[in-house]
Amino acid sequence: MAKISIKDLKFFYGSNEVIHGISLDIAANEILALIGPANSGITTLLRSINRLYELTPGARMEGEITLDGDDINASSVSITELRRKVGMVFDIPTPLPLSIFDNVAYGPRLSGNTNKQDLMVIVEKSLRLAAVWDDVKDRLSEAASSLSGGQQQRLCIARVLALEPEVILLDRPCSGLDPISTTKLEGSLEELKKDYTIVIAPHNTQQAVRVSDSVAFLLMGDLIEAGPTSEVFVTPKDTRTSDYITGRFG
């Protein structure tokens, strides 16, 4: 069974339909890359998987998204639990104005974990997984904003990992990062997919090739093509896909 199953998803901002009926299955422990030019609905699609779109006034989805077979919009679903299961990393590093430690401990504390030693274990484990522990281990009480952009973004990944999620959504996580930080971050993703299902909006198609197992190409709110990365990039079925990945538009 697919980890996440999207069925006939339509999405509206007010009366403006931005996603026109997408169906897509995401398998467990794979990295799916959502590629496509700007305004294709990629960020919106990501935000509908953890229902973060609900913060935007006038935003509305139709269709169904299931996580392990359960409808995420069912009234029995706790939205806070859903968001703990489906963590999100944003396109720019978004440390909260707290210390490094408090940023990573933010999620666990919300669910009532206040034991300092427990938190320390979780924080260290998460920072190690995100490959940023060595950079920050001696300065955990310093402000998170004192870190470099790349370190901040890996801190944000650690903050999501501390939730012990099942799915991680990454919305162009490397757009503000230098090449070295990008390489480090991509390296962590390879490690992480052993335990997590990852949906990433890469910041370019090369990154999709480097990190993803499968890829979905969206254009203007339509899903054009989806499949294993090796197939889509080598033998695209749709001419629009080949035009996009060869850089003829977008």
Partner 1 sequence: MNTNDKTIEKIAKAIIWSAALFVLVILTAIIAYILAKGLPILNWGFLTQIPRNMGRSGGISSTIVGTLMVTAVALVIAIPFGIGTAFYLAEYTKESWATRLMRFSAESLAGIPSIVYGLFGFIFFVISLNMKWSVLSGGLTLSFMILPTIIRTSEEAIRSVPTTYREVSFSLGATKWQTISKAVFPSALRGITNGVILSIGRCIAETAAVILTAGTALKMPTSIFSPTRTMAVHFYILAREGISMENAYGTAALLIILIFLINVVANAAVNRLMEKGR
Binding site for partner 1 (CB under 8 A): 50, 52, 55, 57, 80-81, 83-84, 87-88, 90, 92, 94, 96-99, 102, 106-107, 109-111, 141, 143, 145, 156, 159-160, 163
**Nearest distance, CB of residue 98 and partner 1, angstroms:** 5
Is 89 buried (19+), middle (13-18) or exposed (0-12) by CB count in 10 A?
buried
Q: Render 36-87 in DSSP notation, one character per residue.
A: --TTSSHHHHHHHHTTGGGGSTTEEEEEEEEETTEETTSTTS-HHHHHHHEE
**Nearest distance, CB of residue 139 and partner 1, angstroms:** 12
Q: Which is nearer to partner 1, 159 or 193 (CB)?
A: 159
CA 15 to CA 8: how far, in whole Å?
A: 18
Q: Which is nearer to partner 1, 67 or 232 (CB)?
A: 67
**Nearest distance, CB of residue 35 and partner 1, angstroms:** 22
* Number of other residues whose CB lies within 10 A of the CB of residue 169: 26
Q: Which is nearer to partner 1, 94 or 242 (CB)?
A: 94
Q: Which is nearer to partner 1, 84 or 193 (CB)?
A: 84
What percent of the residues of the chain are helix, what percent strand, and what percent coil, each to the nearest 5? 40, 25, 35
**Nearest distance, CB of residue 84 and partner 1, angstroms:** 4
